[in-house]
Amino acid sequence: MELTEQLNFDHEDRRDIYEYVESQGTVRADQARRALNLGPEAFGHHLTILRRDGYIRRDGNHLSVAYQDEDVEEHDTDDLVYTIRAAEQRDLSGLVGVIRQVAREGTYIEAETVADLLDHEEVILRHTETRSRMVFVACVDDEVVGWVHLDLPEMEKLEHTAVLTVGLLPEYRGHGIGTALLDRGFRWACEHGFEKLYNSVPATNEDAISFLEAHGWETEAVREDHYKIEGEYVDEVMLATFLDCDARL
């Protein structure tokens, strides 16, 4: 199932099963059935239809949302090998840890928000009728070292836009990983019909602003004294980029 696909259920029990599985990330089938108070026959019937229609994936006794598989990209630089792939539920603790470590630098408020949300919901990828998100991770020896996160609005008037955050552990900077993550997020957005990306950072985060500007982002607005960091008022710089999808696909 495409992450941007419109959800369409013709039975309330199937909607309930999907929403329960989606909210859990991964869940045992018997646990889902009991939580929804459905009989084995009815649950099995609805689950079969959800699997047939590409909404739910079953692996043994575990259920998860059947998101479309994304390619795993391997990058081999002179001194480092890393992969970029769609985040999986098993990455949750490592991903949150990396985001929090980057956010502790004190200049990436949006990253703190993403980490808090993931930590609270305990689900990485999301696709409901009201909210969706996509996350790619950069891994070295299968350990998460960076991420790119796309928050996808469901409002019709904003459905051509997405909010992107990207970050990387300090010790892995300088190898092109941040650029590769940003490019992966760009290409995914293009492949799914998005036209414009946004990001907001404190004005004190000069490295992030320079990084984004070097990749074609421009400042659209500045909100004065929007943050208060360590007792000091700091402006918020709101950056955006229109996607040149023909050049990326």
* Domain range summary for the chain, segments of one domain joined by +: 12-65, 73-242
Query: 9-46: per-residue pLDDT in tens?
Result: 999 999 999 999 999 999 999 999 999 999 999 999 99
CA distances to 37, 68, 96, 131, 157 from 4, rounded to whole Å, are 30, 10, 24, 10, 15
Distance between terminal CA atoms of the chain?
21
156-180 per-position pLDDT tens digit: 666 788 999 999 999 999 899 999 9
Say yes or no: do domains 12-65 and 73-242 share a fold: no
- The secondary structure of 108-173 as a DSSP string is -HHHHHHHHHHHHH--SSEE-SS-EEEEEEEEETTEEEEEEEEEE---GGGTTEEEEEEEE-GGGT
Global pTM reads 0.91
| H or E element, residue 73 | strand 73-76
Angle, helix 40-52 to helix 12-24, in steps of 10 degrees: 80
**DSSP SS3 for 197:** strand
Does CATH number 1.10.10.10 belong to domain 73-242?
no
What is the average per-residue pLDDT within 47-53? 96
More confident residue, 7 or 106: 7
Q: Which amino acid is at 196?
A: K
Question: Counting Cβ atoms within 10 Å, is residue 84 exposed (0-12), middle (13-18) or buried (19+)?
Answer: buried
Query: What pLDDT score does 227 carry?
Result: 87
Confirm if 168 and 145 have CB atoms less than 8 A apart. Answer: yes
Specify the pLDDT at position 9. 92
Is it the case that residue 86 has pLDDT exceeding 90? yes
Residue 5 scores a pLDDT above 60: yes
- How many CB atoms are located within 10 Å of the residue 194 CB? 21
Structure tokens at 134: 């996509």
* pLDDT score of 247: 63
Q: What one-character-per-residue DSSP string does 206-235 give? A: HHHHHHHHHTT-EEEEEEEEEEEETTEEEE
Yes or no: say if 142 and 108 are a contact pair by the CB < 8 Å rule.
Answer: no
Give the Å distances, CA to CA, from 145 to 61, 67, 98, 108, 234.
31, 23, 6, 16, 28
Q: What's the mean pLDDT when you consider all of the chain?
A: 91
Q: Which CATH architecture has domain 12-65?
A: Orthogonal Bundle (1.10)
- How do residues 125-158 score in pLDDT, each as one tens digit? 999 888 899 999 999 999 999 999 999 876 666 6
Stretch among 9-23, 58-72, 80-94, 108-122 having the lowest mean pLDDT:
108-122
The pLDDT value given to residue 234 = 92
pLDDT one-digit tens code per residue, 112-121: 889 999 999 9
As to burial, measured by CB atoms within 10 angstroms (0-12 exposed, 13-18 middle, 19+ buried), residue 193 is: exposed
